[in-house]
Chains A and B, each alone.
Chain A
Amino acid sequence: MNTLQVLAIGLGLAGYYALVAVGFALIFATLRIFHIAHGTVFITGGYAFFLLHRVQGFGLILSGLLAIAAAALLGLAIDKAVYLPVLRRGGGLFSVFIASLGVSLIVEAGFLAYTKGVVSVARTDMLDILNAGPVAVRTLDLAVLAIVAVLYGLLYLWLHRTKVGLEVRGLTDNGSLAAVVGVNVDRTRTHIFLLASALAGIAGVLTAYDMGINPDSGSRTLFVAVVAVILGGLRNLLLGTLIGSVALGILTAYAGFFFPEWVTFGVFVTMILLILVRPQGLFG
């Protein structure tokens, strides 16, 4: 059994989950919004990249940046156009969740109509691989890990060294108190959605380049990210999400190797068990 190869695959997947999960966790921790539509932000980044790079032929970096921007703007638009109106009219967090489902339906329908459900892969060339004995690792995998490390590092600095980051942490700890103390919740909210959505967009771009995406990829990746967040807990957001993502990456890789037809089953049984047994996560 090629354990090392499966492990390598798992770590690669963990990178994508980590990028999606941390954005989701930020939004949930600070605003208590279960942003299911985060999955559609992810695929929007991926499709935008596919359209710009593969279909229109723009350069790699330019397509990537534009796609990330598109994802960030979509995320922000969802909050401003859907979540805020629901909240302002007396809807609670569950209503926001349902509205988020609604957004997912609309965005996915759009991509379904456009792509007819066919997977969109943003490259034709083969990736460079490094063979280390029985394990083949793609240079892309190493790049993803590096990107995640850098971004998490920057996130840490942002949360702990900047004023906005301080305000965000304030919201995490106590939302209503933060507002009383003078935190500009609206502006902080904008920052949070832009940042989280950009991160999801980056994950989307990388995934589209790597294995391709289809309209289902959004919900699939999102739910794994949700389980990663539940596992890691919200107390120590960055560390918890990172560990949760690595755990889920390895779990899904092994599941994919041993019983590929039961991966979804496995992910959701894990989620239900976590909710029942330890909803506060590892560090809560």
Chain B
Amino acid sequence: MRSNRTRHLFVALASVAVLFAASVGPRDAAGQTPAGEPYKIGVTYPLSGPQGAWGQLLVPAMEIAVQHVNQAGGVSGRPLSLVIEDTKGNPEGAVSAMRKVVQVDRVAAILTIFTNVVSAQMPLADQLKVPLISPVEAPGLVAKSEWAFAHSPLLTRTLPLVSARWQRDKVKRLFAFFPNTPIAKFGSAIVKAEADKLGLQYEETLFKLGDTDFRGLITRAKNFNPDAIFIFGHGTPDEGVIMKQTRELGMNTQMYNGCACVTVKSYREAAGKAAEGVIYAGFKYDVGAARKLIDAYRGKLGFDPDYAGLEVYDMVFMIAEAIRKYGYGGDGIRRGLTEIKDFKSIGGGLVSMDKDRQSVVAVGLYQVKDVVKPEFVEISP
């Protein structure tokens, strides 16, 4: 018995010694602080104005990404840094902001957002030879410029997951809401085609962004008496208000969303309890894979990042990788971005860039279980 106890003690002490040695062992190169003139990435985001919330929500995710890149040794030994300018969400501001970061601060690539802003910036990107990347979801938008990239889940990829569910739940009548913006044109075409394919009765309506009262439109939906309501927009809180007012007009129809917009805090807050049970398909958001980002973001802002936060986090890493491969310059970064294949997204899926500079991402189907915590559960189509 005495020898057993001694043996146990010896093993315990040895384990502790090994663990101790491992933790203070030689640091690998990844732990070294990057030094030198930082590689600057321009950020033209709305920080004020009606779209200002997006900037306030997404810029921190970019900053965390830069931090993580730098913590891992930077890019070829040099740190990354962001140069941020407010676009105010309108094209004039966007062009102004872009000119400043490119011509005054001399950045070699830009992170940007919103279809109308990107449309305004694309001719400038061509002229100034600066690649820009954004989470816009308008199909074919970035195909128009050799210098524009998009990292987002297209409706053509998310809708099949939702429509599989419609088939499963034997939906016969579908009503769709789109905002009164270009998204409606392509969104409607895609959804209508799907409805036709499944033989569903279909009706849709457009809502005005920034309105607070959608009950007139929802009454239209009530008249139609649908089995399913589909909402696809820009992920603004308006959609949350629509969900809430739908319930308040006495409709208990199952609601579906074409993007992971419920992950956005202001969206959830506008919807309140009405968002519970909503089924949506969007950017793959595996909580385990995104742990690093979630914890850092929670530390900064007090709540979890939304799906767009994951997208912009990826973008910073994509640009970093491009710089590593081809150097810091418009051409090099463009080449690097074009060649993205099987890039590991922070959300847990693999990403590749298609020939039109639109990223092809992993998507998932989820249901809102709890609005307050929040809690989203992945479900099968």
Binding site for B on A (CB under 8 A): 1-2, 5-6, 9, 13, 112-113, 115-119, 121, 123-127, 129, 131, 134, 136, 138, 207, 211-214, 216-217, 253-258, 260-261, 263
Among A116, A127, A138, A212, the residue within 8 A (CB) of B52 is A116
The reply to whether B222 and A119 contact each other, CB–CB distance below 8 Å, is no
- Given the interface pairs A125-B272, A126-B248, the reply to whether A118 lies near B53 with Cβ below 8 Å is yes
Q: Which residues of B in the span 242-269 have a Cβ within 8 Å of any Cβ on A?
A: 244-245, 247-251, 266, 269
A254 contacts across to B, CB distance below 8 A: 216
- State whether A113 touches B48 (Cβ < 8 A): yes
Task: Report whether B248 and A121 are in contact in the complex, using a CB–CB cutoff of 8 Å.
Answer: no
A265 to B211, CA, bound (A): 14
Known: A126-B274, A214-B212. A5 touches B219 (CB 8 A): yes
Q: How far is the CA of A1 from the CA of B223 in the complex (A)?
A: 7
Binds A, one of B129-137, B202-210, B297-305, B335-343: B202-210
Least distance between A7 CB and chain B CB atoms (Å) = 10
Question: Which one of B47, B238, B269 has the highest number of Cβ atoms from chain A below 10 Å of its Cβ?
Answer: B269
B220 at the interface (CB under 8 A from A): yes
Interface contacts beyond A211-B241, A256-B214: sample of 5 additional A-B pairs, CB < 8 Å, sorted by A: A9-B215, A119-B266, A129-B248, A134-B222, A211-B213
**19 residue pairs bridging A and B, Cβ less than 8 Å apart:** A2-B222, A9-B219, A117-B51, A118-B237, A119-B266, A119-B270, A121-B244, A124-B371, A124-B372, A126-B248, A126-B272, A126-B273, A207-B212, A211-B213, A212-B212, A216-B50, A254-B216, A256-B215, A257-B216
Contacts known (A112-B49, A121-B270); A126 close to B244, Cβ less than 8 A: yes
A254 to B219 Cα, complex, angstroms: 10
- Please give the distance in Å from B349's CB to the nearest CB on chain A: 29
A257 touches B247 (CB 8 A): no
A256 touches B248 (CB 8 A): no
Chain B residues with CB below 8 A from A136, complex form? 248-251
Chain B residue nearest to A121 (CB atoms) is B270
A272 to chain B, nearest CB (A): 21
* Interface: B56 (CB within 8 A): yes
Q: Which residues of B contact A116 (CB under 8 A)?
A: 47-49, 52-53, 55-56
How many residues does chain B have at the interface if contact means C-beta atoms less than 8 Å apart? 44
- Which listed residue (B212, B217, B245, B372) contacts A257, Cβ 8 A? B217
Residues of chain B within 8 A (CB-CB) of A121 are 237, 241, 244, 269-270, 272
Residues of B with C-beta under 8 A to A255: 216
How far is the CB of A55 from the nearest CB of chain B, in Å? 11
Q: Which applies to chain A's interface (DSSP): helix, strand, loop or mixed? A: mixed
- How far apart are B266's CB and chain A's nearest CB, in angstroms? 5
| B267 vs chain A, min Cβ distance (A) | 9
> Contact partner of A260 among B206, B223, B241, B372, CB < 8 A?
B206
Bound form: Cα–Cα A125–B52 in Å: 26
Which residue on A lies nearest to B207, using beta carbons?
Answer: A260
- B: residues with CB less than 8 A from A are 47-53, 55-56, 180, 205-208, 210-217, 219-220, 222-223, 237-238, 241, 244-245, 247-251, 266, 269-270, 272-274, 371-372
Q: How far is the CA of A219 from the CA of B283 in the complex (A)?
A: 37
Task: Identify the interface centre among B207, B215, B223, B266: most chain A CB within 10 Å of its CB.
Answer: B215
Contacts A2-B219, A136-B250, A138-B248 known; A124 to B272 CB distance under 8 Å? yes
Count of chain A to chain B residue pairs whose CB atoms are closer than 8 Å in the complex: 115
- With CB as the reference atom, state the residue of chain B lying closest to A258: B216
A127 touches which of B51, B216, B222, B248 (Cβ 8 Å): B248
Give A119 to B212 CA distance when docked, in angstroms: 8
Residues of the B chain whose Cβ atoms lie less than 8 Å from the Cβ of A212: 212, 237, 241, 270
Given A2-B222, A113-B48, A116-B52, are A260 and B273 neighbors across the interface (CB < 8 Å)? no
Point out the residues of chain A lying under 8 angstroms from B213, CB to CB.
13, 211, 256
Point out the residue from A13, A113, A117, A256 that lies within 8 Å of B50, measured CB to CB: A117
Give, as a whole number of angstroms, the nearest-CB distance from A10 to chain B: 9
Question: What residues of B have a CB within 8 angstroms of the CB of A1 in the complex?
Answer: 223
Say whether B217 contacts A5, CB under 8 Å: no
Which residues of A have CB within 8 Å of B51? Answer: 117
Q: B223 touches which one: A2, A112, A213 (CB < 8 A)?
A: A2
User: Contact between B208 and A260 (Cβ–Cβ < 8 Å)?
Assistant: yes
Listed from nearest, the 8 A-B pairs whose CB atoms lie closest are: A256-B216, A136-B250, A116-B52, A117-B50, A124-B272, A257-B216, A211-B212, A118-B53
Chain B's closest residue to A123 (CB) is B272
CA distance A105 to B329 in the complex (A): 42
**Shortest Cβ gap from A218 to chain B (Å):** 11
| Contact among A115, A127, A129, A261 for B208, CB-based, below 8 A | A261
A207 to B213, CA, bound (A): 10
Q: In the complex, which of the residues B215, B220, B238 contacts A119, with contact meaning CB atoms closer than 8 Å?
A: B238
Q: Are B237 and A119 in contact, with the CB atoms below 8 A?
A: yes
Q: Closest CB of chain A to B206's CB: distance in Å?
A: 7
Measured between alpha carbons, how far is A126 from B272 in the docked complex, in Å?
8
> Which residues of B have CB within 8 Å of A129?
248-250
Q: Is the CB of B216 within 8 A of A253?
A: yes
Chain B residues near A115: list those with CB within 8 A: 53
A143 to B205, CA, bound (A): 30
Residues of B contacting A216 in the complex (Cβ-Cβ under 8 angstroms) = 50, 210
What residues of chain A lie closer than 8 Å to B248, measured between beta carbons?
126-127, 129, 136, 138
Partner of B219, one of A6, A13, A214: A6
Contacts of B47 in A (CB 8 A): 116
Is A211 in contact with B245, judged by CB distance below 8 angstroms?
Answer: yes
Chain A contacts for B241, CB-based, 8 A: 119, 121, 211-212
